[in-house]
Amino acid sequence: MTGADRTDRRRVIESARRSIERVLLGGDRRYRRDQVLELAGVPFERGHELWRALGFSSVSDDAVVFTDGDVEALRTTYELISSGLLDPAAALSTARMQGQFLSRLAEWQVSLLQDVLAANPELAADERQLVRLLERLIPDQERLQNYVWRRHLAAYAGRTLAAGQPMEAGNLVVGFADMVGFTRLTRRSDEADLIQVVDLFDTVTAEVVSEHGGRIVKMIGDEVLFVADTPARGAEVGLRLVERAESEDGLPPLRAGLAYGRVLSRFGDVYGSVVNIAARLTSVARPGTILVDVGMADALTGESAFTLRSRRPVSVRGFARLKPSVLRRTGPVGTPHIPLEPADPPIRSPRRNR
């Protein structure tokens, strides 16, 4: 490729980028930072904090990077703060949460677009076709995302009203489940194989957790963090995850840890010692097994669907002498087998010297 060809290619790519940006941002970049803040009526420091909280990098004072959409977003946010409906600290926390979540969503959606363009190279070669495709897809995506957000909002609002107490703190089951041997798998598999395993894990966890009354908090690499409102629901989710992995071709076995108690829920995440205990129990569980803490075991007392077997105390990072129990199902013949950890070896009395 000659120098002229490379220049032409860069020019085509830059033209396509600008066209795509106009579709996505609703117009051209027109304003510097001082201009967008003046038009929105937002103090400099407040606007700068919100921009960083959303996850966008700082820009120089003379960079023309802002659009009319940025003006409207800043104005709306500042009006909510000024009216007293949203205090400044909550506004920044909300902006950070939205920025982190939506940046991941955008990355995934661009990856899907790359797959579409790879399968249809004629779209990538024709700027007008590409722009028309985006102009058709973006409104549909916006409507779908808005619908999903409203459905989740309705569900959470319903739970809060039914509970009659704030959702920030309360008793929850916290569970972790991770793929056993995933580190070894990454060393001996290529990218395509890993993508297939991760996609299957994401699919299985999403189906099982939602179907049995739990909620996924987040996916963390090769593990899932979920919560459930009641011990019975949490136990069912954990058992179903392990059983499903056992029967699913192409998915490594899972191990899980469950803990029950008071949890702080904030901006879609969960915090507290219950979360840490569940994570530590997962780290010491054997493949295909579920360990639960004392709080979870006590809460399941009287639940005929489940069987608990005490294990010796274990010491893990941050917690000395946790007293776990192995959870398994008390089910009919034909229930998928979950291997129970072998009984602890008998304690032998020391020999006496004769």
Question: What's the half-sphere exposure (Cβ side, CA atoms, 13 Å) at 232?
Answer: 6
**What residues make up the domain containing 81?**
3-160
Shared-domain flag, residues 311 and 191: yes
- Cα(285)–Cα(291) distance, rounded to whole angstroms? 6
> Which phi and psi angles does 305 have, rounded to 5°?
-80, -10
Shared-domain flag, residues 226 and 142: no
Show pLDDT as tens, one digit a residue, over the chain (354 residues). 566 656 666 776 677 777 778 888 877 888 988 899 999 888 888 888 888 888 887 788 888 889 888 888 888 888 888 887 778 888 888 888 888 888 888 888 888 888 887 888 777 777 788 888 888 888 888 899 899 889 988 887 776 666 665 566 788 999 999 999 888 888 888 888 888 899 999 999 999 999 998 999 998 889 999 999 999 999 999 999 999 999 988 889 999 999 999 999 887 789 999 999 999 999 999 999 999 999 999 999 988 999 999 998 888 887 888 899 999 998 653 444 444 444 444 333 333 333
Which has the closest alpha carbon to 102: 268, 270, 275?
A: 268
Shared-domain flag, residues 156 and 172: no
Predicted TM-score of the model (pTM): 0.68
How many CB atoms sit inside 10 A of residue 66's CB?
A: 23
Boundary of a domain, candidates 160, 180, 201: 160
> Is 53 within the bounds of a domain?
yes
Residue 261, H or E segment:
strand 254-266
- Which CATH number belongs to the domain containing residue 325 in this structure? 3.30.70.1230
Question: In angstroms, how far is the first alpha carbon of the chain from the final one?
Answer: 90
Single-letter amino acid, residue 226: F
Shared-domain flag, residues 92 and 236: no
Contacts of 231 (CB under 8 A, 6+ apart): 173, 260, 296, 299, 300, 303
Shared-domain flag, residues 293 and 229: yes
Q: What is the number of structural domains in the chain?
A: 2
Contacts of 232 (CB under 8 A, 6+ apart): 300, 303, 305, 306
